[in-house]
A and B are shown apart, each in its own frame.
Chain A
């Protein structure tokens, strides 16, 4: 709390940007009652993850911090906060909107980036080695291709390849 936030340095347009994003429409209705914060199961485990606080930061225009906040990915999508919010902020959907903005603006979380790179390169979340194929064969299963090119094509078409640092 020692930190002083200079409001003049924040992005005043960010709140409107969120409201324009599908799912983010309810952001500004929030009156900071705290219902969501006391509902959230993720929050129950770690005080750092707090939907009300995240919403506040978005309203104040703390764009960088919001888009880099791990919480937007840690949200379990349980909808508890959304169901109970008296102001219809639509928090769970708002999380999706924030993720979408983050991704679009290049704030993709490193863990997602790493996953994406795997999928891009191998067509799945891990690299298939000879060892696996041997084991499959032993159990009477067909061999698999180590690389799936169709997935690569799909990701390129979907515009996701731009997040991948390709080692071609």
Chain B
């Protein structure tokens, strides 16, 4: 038998999400966590941007009902997930599908008997420093009031084995002699989600790191914000426990410097969050934020920044000094003036990095990500990573209507009112939850019962509960409160079951197909990944060719000319994915797992059946109305420069203007790609023609993550960056001898005049106008800026509100080609999970089609008053949307070939029931 075990290293949000996704794909998971508790970095943070709240539980799979919904901070319970704490992987041998993973389990000293009564902590004489809480704790400790596992742990570096805790423990839970253990696990795959860690920034001596008690890092500050609130309602600084009145936040500490050249991407956003939480609970505190560039490029990030109330200073302080009261004096420069400012507390916005274990370079081992990412991106990467494993069909223990010659009928009484005795009469307590249903199914199986009548007091809840696992055709419910003659009602129902014919759909496997709307790189990536996994996909594109906006991108920032859209188009062809060009998605009908989409193709409307829909309709390039763009051929966009301009050698000077049409009152969104575009094209110009001056007029250089290296490279090549502010934008004049740009350099308070041969406007995105209408049709949400929203912008970034609808690519927010591809792949992974778990249960009484005899004439479609029928584009037969069908039977009457019928109520059956009664 194939090995179904997968190891996930790291139990942070991305690790847990990977584990969940693997369970949904049919695997058993062992999660290996180094620390004493499950949950990773997020356990230290009570709130997350952009909702300023916790939403960890939102990562629970929606359709796999075997997950017990509960707070992830407190525990996760699933029969297919096993957790190891204080454990690490020490070696991996073998290859994909057959890895031998050696685990070392360090002693914890406390076992599962612990009830967290805390008596041991009271008697323990030894202390340890808690890197979780940044305080001194006893050697026997727990991190928080509630932990998972909810038991204590011993820090054996601090413990002297005095034995006091052992004596006092009423549960006999402590063993000071516990030994280290090793275990080898046979696993098919291994995923590394070891997450991010704070950098050691003690080299920043001028900031007093590790010297001044009131200079702390962000994580420490999050603990201060959390631990004291709301219990004492106080915020206490480390030196004297006083409430700080004025707090400085300094950005890029341990990033963007000689020691750590890259930007850590997440610290701007988390500082803003800390400021907001601070202001919410302690409005009297005055926060100052010292920054160089505010890199708020994530979905909704710019708006978040604009709505944050703090004193923002565009400066990197030079040093911090401490006075005798441990207050801190910051030295910085502003607008050409030298300044000193005193603060009660300084928070250094700490740089982070990803620890990459040595064993990742092996096949069968997958690293989720290699540079710091916010939660949203980390989750997207974890969905994407699980695409690497084949989906294993889950053994669904559904109770179906089997195709048999003889059926065994039973009667289940949950009321105690049915007095008859006999074979196959079962007494069972009322069904209150899924567990009760499982117990009942167990009994039915044991007795060999195929179909049953269930006597219950509340018909609807019972029916709802049963449909969780049982085909609606396999039972009849008798509502004891509504029947005058219970015996008669049971007999009638038995007869109904006896003459019931199984729905063909119920016995044959329903073929799953997926509709992808929008043939850009995100849509094509989703389609390709699904097709590779054997799922039938239809790809619909409004334009006359596939590729979308990415077709206009001619150069990539890494200097390559990788043609992503072309590669994807070829794959779509290779895999034979049906593509509908010049076709427009109109609407969907039906229920999750059984949608049908109306697609306009030319003058026709065709129908495509789909279990799930992936929405990748992208966003449009902004056409500027600013800066005389329309009136001069000396003023072009980055895209036009890239696509058409081939006379770089002739240029003497070029000015690039950032944030044109983005990050303003009209559109308070950062388009993310335009700064990268500027860097890419500026470097390109300098390479082709070093003598050409290139000026980049920017507000915040969005060179996050490794893009910082391109920003540095551009400067080193002589590109000149000039910072302007939103309230003083550059102005442009066209004079007889050319274009003149006036700009106020905010950093140096200098007025500059540039006379470039070419002005390049860095324009970004605008959401598609149709989004609002589209969202209504799909039953999903859009955000304030007009992009689509998902269930949770942070913790559920792909799944839309309406089950079975997923969104990816720039339809969600501005992003680059690579990110759009990743998000498309992540959507494919989410769709696979959905298909593997969503039980397709039809409505109780509907019509159906005998497809073998159906001629596809469409008469039934015409007569159906509910629009519940359509002719499938591929198969040319009639199909029913069971969720809409009311079972009126008009179609049955209209069908010339007798292919339309009412499920379970075939003419023959009804006549038999009537005559026997």
Contacts and interface: CB of A to CB of B under 8 A. Distances in A.
Interface of A: 1-8, 12, 15-16, 28-39, 43-44, 47, 50, 52-53, 56, 59-60, 80, 84, 86-88
A80 to B, nearest CB: 8
Interface in B711-749: 711-712, 715-718, 720-721, 723, 742, 747-749
B753 interface: yes
A5 B744 CA distance: 10
Contacts of A60: 720, 752
Given A30-B715, A38-B332, A43-B338, A7 B754 contact: yes
B771 interface: no
A50 B257 contact: no
A113 B315 CA distance: 38
Given A5-B753, A29-B712, A38 B336 contact: no
Contacts of B258: 86-88
A16 B315 contact: no
B754 A8 contact: yes
Interface residues of B, number: 41
Interface string B317-329: 1110000000000
A52 B712 contact: no
A93 B748 CA distance: 23
Contacts of B337: 47
A37 B334 CA distance: 10
A6 B653 CA distance: 13
A53 B334 CA distance: 12
B807 to A, nearest CB: 36
A44 B319 CA distance: 13
B256 interface: yes
B718 A35 contact: no
Nearest to A30: B715
A1 B316 contact: no
B145 interface: no
Given A1-B749, A5-B750, A37 B715 contact: no
Contact of A6 (B333, B691, B753): B753
B259 to A, nearest CB: 9
Nearest to A13: B691
10 contacts: A3-B751, A5-B750, A5-B751, A7-B752, A7-B755, A31-B711, A39-B318, A86-B258, A87-B712, A88-B258
B883 interface: no
Given A28-B716, A30-B715, A84 B206 contact: yes
B695 interface: yes
A28 B718 contact: yes
Nearest to B335: A1
B331 interface: yes
A4 B753 contact: yes
Contacts of A50: 333, 336
Nearest to B318: A38
A35 B316 contact: yes
B621 interface: no
B71 interface: no
Closest 3 CB pairs of A and B: A38-B318, A86-B257, A33-B316
A56 B316 contact: no
Nearest to B750: A5
B715 A31 contact: yes
B755 A33 contact: no
A160 B755 CA distance: 40
Contacts of B234: none
Given A29-B715, A44-B338, A84 B319 contact: yes
Contacts of B510: none
Contact of A84 (B318, B718, B720): B318
B718 A16 contact: yes
A75 B748 CA distance: 20
Nearest to B720: A59
Contacts of B753: 4-8
Interface in B746-779: 747-755
Given A1-B751, A5-B752, A86 B742 contact: no
A60 B749 CA distance: 14
B333 A34 contact: yes
A164 to B, nearest CB: 37
Given A1-B749, A4-B752, A7-B752, 15 more contacts: A2-B751, A5-B751, A7-B653, A28-B715, A29-B716, A30-B715, A34-B747, A37-B318, A47-B336, A50-B333, A53-B336, A56-B747, A84-B318, A86-B252, A86-B316
B515 to A, nearest CB: 47
Contacts of A80: 318
B598 interface: no
A59 B256 CA distance: 20
A7 B695 contact: yes
Contacts of A32: 721, 723, 747-748
Nearest to B748: A56
B315 to A, nearest CB: 5
Contacts of A1: 749-751
Contacts of A35: 316-318
B859 interface: no
A4 B336 contact: no
Contact of A4 (B319, B331, B751, B755): B751
B693 interface: yes
B115 to A, nearest CB: 51
A43 B339 CA distance: 11
B693 A39 contact: no
A86 B263 CA distance: 13
Contacts of B333: 34, 37-38, 50, 52
A34 B316 contact: yes
Nearest to A1: B749
Contacts of B316: 33-35, 86
A36 B252 CA distance: 16
